[in-house]
């Protein structure tokens, strides 16, 4: 079970460790609901003494409370254990999902149940600050829709479709030209007067699929977001793996050919230039009179349209070949294909075949390949989950 950690946290001191452990406990309470101290210790991997001391501290601080008793242990005759649950202060949190072509905002209650959601289609790549203005306005509207007062907003979780530098919290690559050097968390904080935590979109998609979707119960997960861009979120040993500087999981920029198109990252021949949604739609459009959209392409795939199936399965093979290498390196137990194209059977089947063909046989056998269950809402759900964890842990 992964724990969301703020991108700007720096390890080192005992207090940092304690805060990280507290977040881990909160993350498990968010994901699995009320549970005993013993269950928390088992699921989090923390010792019983550590869990007990953290829970006592959080009871005093009012972040958790003890609740109805659980069932006695199987076959046991002892007293049923007391369960610990998150205390739910009034107010709420928001999630913000910024994609290359949309801003989605969800207002949620203090435990993460989504009460209102808004989506706007717009091209965000060139316009960092004005996109954050739009997001702030949408947050105010979504809070009003949900009947939540802006003054009761505990915090926001936000994802952006680019890596976030772990030291500075800024967007450091040229993938989002209008965002370079921007600190999106600080900028949004100024606009909504509440704490904001930010992460890369695929990391939050991975987090959401593990918590609420197709990868429940898995600890070593590769989540692939197939959209206007291509990215991956890695959960290794139950934790989101961000890498030394936050650049881990840049699947879209794996090299496919020396002489391919120039990519927005500055390199050429990147996977993304071959298989992004935009590219696939452009390949298919000449064979169709009506304007193709992703939902239409998914419908045509389901109806077994030959051209669509060919293009999607070629894309799946290309992605699967890159994923086979990743499987050889990381040995995941599941690959979840998410994003708007994750529901296409032709893509998922072709990834499966390519992994079987190119990964070493025992590694291929160990990995399940499946569509995401949360579709294009995975990222917003991950953002809400991260906001709840941040607000409850008091970071
Ligand atoms: Zn690239």
Residues 146-204 pLDDT 10s:
888 888 899 999 999 888 887 888 887 767 888 888 899 999 999 999 999 999 999 99
Token digits of residue 222:
């590769």
pLDDT at site 314: 96
Residues 6+ apart with CB under 8 A from 248: 234, 241, 242
Distances in Å between the Cα of 276 and the Cα atoms of 16, 135, 230, 266, 294 are: 39, 25, 6, 16, 11
pLDDT score, position 76: 57
**What's phi and psi for 332, nearest 5 deg?**
-75, 160
C-alpha 301 to ligand 1 mean position (Å): 27
Task: State in Å: Cα 270 to ligand 1 middle.
Answer: 5
Q: Nearest to residue 320, comparing CAs of 251, 268, 227, 248? A: 251
62 burial via Cβ count (<10 Å: 0-12, 13-18, 19+):
exposed
How far away, in angstroms, is 384 Cα from ligand 1 center? 29
Distance 212 CA to ligand 1 centre (A): 30
Report residue 47 CA to chain centroid gap.
Answer: 28
Tell me how far the alpha carbon of residue 268 lies from the centroid of ligand 1, in angstroms: 6
Find out whether 372 and 347 touch, Cβ atoms under 8 Å.
no
pLDDT of residue 244: 87
In the predicted model, is pLDDT for residue 82 greater than 90? no
Angle, helices 294-302/345-358, rounded to nearest 10 degrees:
70
Backbone angles phi, psi at 199, to 5 degrees: -150, 170
Ligand 1 centroid, distance to 315 Cα (angstroms): 16
Ligand 1 geometric centre to CA of 278 (Å) = 15
C-alpha 120 – ligand 1 centre gap (Å): 26
Q: pLDDT digit string (tens) for 5-17? A: 443 344 468 888 8
Q: Where are the alpha helices (DSSP H) in 231-337?
A: 271-275, 277-284, 294-302, 306-330
User: Which residue, 319, 315, 258, 304, is CA-closest to 281?
Assistant: 315
Gap from CA of 339 to ligand 1 centroid (Å): 18
Cα 251 to averaged position of ligand 1 atoms, centre (Å): 9
Look at residue 324 and tell me whether its pLDDT is greater than 90: yes
Distance from C-alpha of 324 to C-alpha of 359, rounded to nearest angstrom: 5
| pLDDT for residue 2 is more than 50 | no
Ligand 1 centroid–CA 156 distance in Å is 30
Note the pLDDT of residue 179: 85
DSSP category for residue 115: E
pLDDT above 90 covers a percentage of the chain that reads: 54
Mean pLDDT in the chain?
Answer: 88
Write the pLDDT tens digit of every residue in 218-249.
999 999 999 888 999 999 988 889 888 888 89
Structure tokens at 160: 């952006």
Residues contacting residue 274 through CB under 8 Å, at least 6 positions apart:
256, 260, 315, 318
pLDDT at 67 over 90: no
Task: Give residue 259 CA to ligand 1 midpoint distance, Å.
Answer: 13
Q: Per-residue pLDDT tens for 263-289?
A: 888 889 999 999 988 899 999 999 988
Q: Give the H or E element holding residue 108.
A: strand 102-108
In this structure, what token pair is assigned to residue 89?
Answer: 């202060």
Q: Is pLDDT of 1 > 50?
A: no
The pLDDT score that the predictor gives to residue 70 is 62
pLDDT at 161: 86
């Amino acid at each position: 079970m992964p724990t969301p950690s703020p991108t700007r946290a720096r390890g080192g001191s005992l207090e940092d460790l304690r805060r990280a452990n507290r977040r881990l406990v909160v993350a498990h309470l968010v994901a699995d609901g009320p549970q005993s101290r013993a269950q928390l210790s088992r699921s989090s991997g923390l010792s019983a003494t550590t869990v007990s001391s953290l829970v006592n501290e959080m009871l005093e601080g009012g972040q958790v409370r003890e609740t109805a008793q659980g069932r006695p242990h199987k076959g046991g005759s002892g007293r049923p254990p007391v369960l610990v649950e998150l205390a739910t202060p009034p107010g709420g949190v928001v999630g913000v999902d910024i994609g290359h072509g949309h801003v989605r905002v969800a207002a949620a209650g203090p435990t993460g149940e989504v009460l209102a959601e808004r989506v706007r289609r717009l091209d965000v790549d060139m316009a960092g600050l004005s996109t954050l203005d739009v997001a702030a306005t949408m947050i105010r509207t979504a809070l009003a829709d949900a009947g939540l007062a802006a003054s009761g907003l505990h915090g926001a979780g936000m994802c952006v479709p680019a890596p976030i530098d772990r030291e500075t919290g800024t967007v450091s690559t040229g993938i989002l030209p209008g965002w370079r050097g921007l600190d999106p968390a600080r900028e949004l904080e100024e606009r909504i007067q509440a704490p904001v935590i930010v992460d890369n979109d695929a990391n939050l998609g991975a987090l959401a699929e593990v918590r609420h979707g197709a990868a429940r119960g898995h600890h070593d997960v590769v989540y692939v977001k197939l959209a206007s861009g291509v990215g991956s979120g890695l959960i290794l040993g139950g934790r989101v793996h961000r890498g030394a500087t936050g650049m881990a999981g840049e699947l879209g920029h794996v090299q496919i050919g020396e002489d391919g198109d120039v990519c927005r990252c500055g390199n050429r021949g990147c996977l993304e230039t071959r298989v992004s949604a935009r590219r696939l739609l452009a390949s298919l459009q000449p064979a169709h009179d009506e304007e193709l959209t992703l939902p239409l392409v998914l419908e045509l795939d389901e109806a077994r349209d030959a051209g669509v199936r060919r293009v999607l399965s070629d894309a799946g093979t290309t992605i699967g070949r890159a994923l086979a290498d990743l499987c050889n390196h990381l040995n995941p137990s599941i690959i979840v294909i998410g994003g708007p194209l994750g529901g296409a059977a032709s893509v998922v089947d072709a990834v499966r075949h390519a992994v079987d063909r190119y990964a070493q046989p025992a590694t291929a056998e160990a990995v399940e390949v499946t569509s995401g269950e949360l579709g294009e809402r995975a990222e917003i759900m991950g953002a809400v989950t991260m906001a709840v964890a941040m607000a409850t842990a008091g970071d």
